[in-house]
Amino acid sequence: MKIVIIGGVAGGATAAARLRRISETADIVLVERGPYISFANCGLPYHISGVIAERDKLLVTREPMFEARYRIDVRSSTEALAIDRAARTVRLRNLQTGVETDEPYDRLLLSPGAEPVRPRIAGADSRRVFTLRNIPDLDRIMSALGKARPRRAVVIGGGYVGLEVAENFHERGLLTTVVEGAPQILAPFDEEMAAIVQAHLREHGVELTLNDKIERFEDRPDDIVVVLASGRRIEADIVVMSIGVKPETTLAREAGLELGATGGIKVDERLATSDSDIFAVGDAIEVVNRVSGRQTLIPLAGPANRQARIAADNMLASGADARASYGGTMGTAILKVFDLAAACTGLNERQAAALEIPHKAVIIHAASHASYYPGGKPIALKLVFALDGRILGAQAIGADGADKRIDVIATAIGAGLGVDDLTELELAYAPPFGSAKDPVNVVGYVAGNVLLGFHEVIDWRELRDLLKAAPSSVQIVDVRTPTEFSAGTIPGALNVEVDRLRERLGEIDPGRPLVVFCQVGLRGYLAYRILKQSGFTDVRNLTGGFKTYSLATGEQSTPNLLADKTKLRMEEGREGEPAGHI
C-alpha cells in the first residue's frame, strides 16, 4: 500500500512512525513544506530567553535519522500543490529546485496544521513584526534580537503563545507590553481566574493593555510604533503577532473535501474525510468537544498525537476492520507564567452559558499540600458543573500542584464521573505532596453542597452588579478578623468575625437579603450555616471569597495575593481539622 502524508510535526511524523511499526511493507512518503519534519513548536518561545539554550534541542528528529530508522521516503522543503482525487495523485513541488511531480497514493493523510492569523493591518509587513509558529520564524526572531539588540517588545495577543513569548522577552531583559483586544487574557479561562494571571504578569513588570486593538504600525528608521484603536502609541523595537491561528485547509478545500462549520476539515470518528481514502489530523481538522458535544477547533499537540495514531491504524485497515475511533477532546491545557501555572479542562462558565447549559460554579483557594508542611503554595481552583452533577470543566492556577488537580478532573470528566465522585477519589497523600482532603475532594464537597441546597452561593460578578444597581437591597457581612477587615473589604460591609457571630446576631437584620464573605470562602460557609440555623432565610456565601472578588473587580488593593509570604491560615484545610467546606 502506498501512503502519502502531507505535513510533519506532531500529526504527520507521528502517523508515519506508527504506520511503519504496523507494516514493514507499506510504501510511505512524508512531505513537509518546511525544512524540518518534526520540531517542538511548544518549546519555541523558551529559546528566546535561553531557557532552552540550544536551538537543536527543539528538533525532535532529523530527516536522515527518520529515514534510516523507519525507512520512510522523507521530502522536506516540498510543497503539496493540489490533490487529484480521481487519479489518486498529489502534485508536489520541490521548493529548492522548483521541479513539480505527481505522487500516486492509495491512502492520503493531511496534517497541514494551522497558520497564524495575520489581519490586514497597515504596516504589518514591517521587518520588525514577526509571528512564531515554526523554526524559521524563531530563527528570524533570534536574528533580530542578535543584530538590533532591541530594548522594547510588544506582543499582540494574550493567548498561550503570546504570554509565553512575553515572559521570555521579559526574561531576556526587554521591556515588554502585551496588547489584547478582549477585556481579559486567556480566553479558555473565566474572567476572575484570568485576573490572577494578569496581576501576576504586572507584578513581574510586564505591561498589559486590555480591551484595545491594533489600528496600525508605523515603521520608523530606528523603531516601530504600535498605534492602538484608543489612540495610544507604543514604541517598540520588535513586535510579535500572536492573535491566534486558523486551520490550513487550502489543499483540502480545493480538492473538494468537505469542511465543517468551524472552518476545519470535516472528519468522522475514524478521522477519514469526506473521501474515504483521505484522512486528516491535527490543527486543521474540526473535532467534537467531549463535554458540549459540539464541533470545535482545538489546536493542541496532545490531541494531534492521539489522532495520528488512530488515523494510522485505520488507514492500513479495510473499511470493515477500521475500528479505532477518536472520541473528541476536552481542550485540557496548561501554561507557565513566570512561577505560576494556569491549567484548564472542559468548558468555562462563559462557554456553558453561551451553550445555554444550566450550571453552577464554585471557587476554592486551597493549599498545594498540607499547610503545616513548609513550602505550601495557594491554588485557586474553579469547578463548573451542570445541575445534574455532571462536571463541565475546571480551571486551576497556582505555583505548585495546579497541573495534577486539572489532570485528575480531566480524567474524571473523560470517565463520566460527576461532582459526587470527586469526593470519593482516593488520591496520593503525604504532607509534602498533598492533603488528607485534597483540593479535588474539597471542590467536590463544595459543589455537592451547592447542588443539595445545603450551601447557597453568590459569585463575584452577581454581587458586584447587585451592589451597583441597588446597594441598599442587600446587607453584606465580612466575617474575617478586624485586622483583615481594616486592610481592605467590600464597600458597605459590616465586620462581624465568625467566632463572634452567634453573640452579635442582633446586629444583622433577618428580614433583608444577606451576603457573607471571608477571605477564600470557608469561614463564610461556616457563618452561612450559623445564620441559616438561626432563622436567617435569605443568605448566600461569596464563592471564592474576598480574594476572588478583589482580583476580579479591581476595586480593592490586595498586593501579591498569590505570594507565599505568610503561613497559610487554618481555613485552607489542615489534616485532621473539622471538615470545613464539607
Per annotation, catalytic residue among 35, 40, 42, 182: 42
Pair type for strands 59-61 and 38-39: antiparallel
3-state secondary structure at position 192: helix
3-state secondary structure at position 155: strand
Alpha carbon distance 270, 115 (integer Å): 25
Q: Which letter does DSSP use for residue 447 in this model?
A: H
3-state secondary structure at position 116: strand
Q: Which letter does DSSP use for residue 473 in this model?
A: G
Backbone angles phi, psi at 150, to 5 degrees: -65, 155
Alpha carbon distance 579, 582 (integer Å): 5
Q: How many CA atoms lie within 13 A of 197 on its CB side?
A: 30
Of the candidates 127, 129, 135, the one whose C-alpha atom is nearest the C-alpha of residue 34 is 135
**Residues 262 and 297: beta-carbon distance below 8 Å:** yes
Residue found under cell 452579635: 504
3-state secondary structure at position 28: strand
What are the CA-CA distances from residue 518 to residues 68, 275, 490, 531, 581 (Å)? Answer: 63, 59, 11, 15, 13
3-state secondary structure at position 267: coil
**Residues 2 and 27: beta-carbon distance below 8 Å:** yes
Q: What is the largest CA-CA distance in the chain?
A: 89
What is the amino acid identity at position 465?
D
Q: Determine whether 518 is an active site residue.
A: no
3-state secondary structure at position 502: helix
Cell numbers of 38, please?
Answer: 518534526
Cell numbers of 340, please?
Answer: 505560576
Alpha carbon distance 9, 283 (integer Å): 11
**Residues 540 and 524: beta-carbon distance below 8 Å:** no
Alpha carbon distance 161, 337 (integer Å): 11
Pair type for strands 340-346 and 333-337: antiparallel
DSSP 241-262: E-S-EEE--HHHHHTT--B-TT
Of the candidates 441, 449, 385, the one whose C-alpha atom is nearest the C-alpha of residue 418 is 385
Q: Where are the beta strands (DSSP E) in 97-247?
A: 100-104, 107-110, 114-116, 129-130, 152-156, 175-180, 207-210, 214-219, 224-228, 233-236, 238-241, 245-247
Residues carrying an active site annotation = 42
